[in-house]
């Protein structure tokens, strides 16, 4: 009896090793990075791929055009701003992502950054390691900023934004949010003006979607409104923050500090940020726990398996 041929999957960029193993166990997988000339490879071999898997690298409109039989893209992550959805919709290509399974870890990271920059814990750690504590001529370590009872503004109140808001309850924080529209089931105060939200907030946490519609949403006027005692936390996409405006605001002490997990041109980080003690920098690890990454990997597989079996997805990007 003939066994049906396994679908051919194009892998764009490296993935979690566990996910790569699972993919190879189920499908015929080709890593595009292995091709000496990726464009030439797709021109010659693109027709054999019915599925693609990617992550932060996304997939371009040109790559999709070179895959005439592509039916599904399964993304390792929630954000799909590097997948041209207008192209996939026109081609009726399903796009799966991994919502919900990473809400807790991203929310935890937002608060790790918030606490880290407010209480200067990374800076204090460096202070101790350098042997400066208690040395002659050294003043005591500078005071931090109290978090409990502070005003928290959230930019974007989707699944992760709501999880962050619930974390804030434990710190007895006053909370308001900004989004394109009020969220129907949200008990927190909606602020239609992002500038006014920033002016009100002690801490402004950004967790909105990326893409053209939110590019540089956090700009000079927003940072000016946040003010010299305000802190910016970004766990969304680097493109949402005007990075040069942020560098200027920090250098000129227009805001008190920033906690950043994402950057405009990852993995490149502006050199100015590397020298600032009032900035906490992470290498895009908000979802980076063993448990969450495994759950994300499982969702990538589940989306592929369900699509090829029943032409539907566990979670479809909109």
pLDDT digit string (tens) for 95-128? 999 999 999 999 999 999 999 999 999 999 999 9
103-134+142-281 and 8-99+291-310 share a CATH fold? yes
Asked if residues 259 and 241 have their Cβ atoms less than 8 Å apart, the reply is no
DSSP-derived secondary structure letter, 191: -
Active site residues per annotation = 237, 266, 284
Which ranges constitute the DSSP H helices of 85-242? 85-91, 103-118, 121-129, 159-170, 194-200, 220-226
- Quickly list DSSP for 50-79: SEEEESTT---HHHHHT-TT--EEEESSS-
DSSP-derived secondary structure letter, 255: S
Q: Can you give the pLDDT at residue 253?
A: 97
pTM score over 0.85: yes
| Cα 282 from Cα 113, distance rounded (Å) | 9
Dihedral angle of Cα 121, 126, 127, 129, to the nearest 10 degrees: 120
Ranges 56-60, 62-66, 136-140, 302-306: which has the least confidence: 136-140
Question: If pLDDT is split at 50, 70 and 90, which confidence band does 135 have?
Answer: confident
For residue 292 the two structure tokens come to 């969450």
Q: Can you give the pLDDT at residue 4?
A: 67
Domain spans of the chain? 8-99+291-310, 103-134+142-281
Query: What homologous superfamily does CATH list for 8-99+291-310?
Result: NAD(P)-binding Rossmann-like Domain (3.40.50.720)
User: Any idea which architecture 103-134+142-281 has in CATH?
Assistant: 3-Layer(aba) Sandwich (3.40)
Q: Single out the residue of 154, 210, 204, 218 nearest to residue 183, CA to CA.
A: 154
| Cα 74 from Cα 91, distance rounded (Å) | 15
């Amino acid at each position: 009896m003939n066994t049906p041929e396994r679908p051919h999957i194009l892998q764009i960029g490296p993935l979690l090793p566990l996910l790569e193993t699972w993919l190879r166990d189920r499908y015929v997988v080709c890593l595009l990075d292995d091709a000496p000339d990726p464009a030439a490879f797709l021109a010659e071999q693109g027709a054999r791929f019915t599925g693609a898997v990617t992550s932060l690298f996304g997939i371009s409109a040109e790559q999709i055009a070179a895959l005439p039989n592509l039916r599904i893209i399964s993304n390792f992550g929630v954000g799909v701003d590097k997948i041209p959805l207008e192209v996939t919709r026109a081609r009726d290509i399903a796009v799966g992502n991994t919502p919900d399974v990473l809400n807790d870890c991203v929310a935890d990271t937002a608060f790790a950054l918030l606490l880290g920059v407010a209480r200067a814990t990374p800076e204090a750690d460096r202070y101790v390691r350098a042997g400066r504590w208690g040395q002659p001529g050294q003043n005591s370590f500078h005071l931090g900023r109290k978090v409990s009872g502070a005003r928290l503004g959230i930019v974007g109140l989707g699944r992760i934004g709501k999880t962050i808001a619930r974390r804030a309850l434990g710190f007895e924080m006053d909370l308001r949010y900004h989004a394109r529209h009020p969220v129907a089931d949200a008990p927190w105060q909606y602020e239609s003006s992002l500038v006014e939200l920033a002016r009100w907030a002690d801490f402004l946490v950004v967790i909105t979607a990326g893409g053209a519609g939110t590019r540089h949403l956090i700009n000079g006027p927003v940072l000016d409104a946040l003010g010299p005692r305000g802190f910016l936390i970004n766990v969304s996409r680097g493109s949402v923050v005007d990075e040069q405006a942020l560098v200027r605001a920090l250098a000129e002490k227009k805001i008190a500090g920033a906690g950043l997990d994402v950057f405009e041109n990852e993995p490149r980080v502006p050199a100015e940020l590397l020298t600032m003690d009032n900035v906490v920098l992470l290498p895009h690890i908000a979802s980076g726990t063993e448990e969450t990454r495994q759950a994300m990997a499982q969702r990538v597989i589940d989306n592929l398996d369900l699509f090829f079996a029943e032409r539907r997805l566990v979670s479809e990007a909109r």
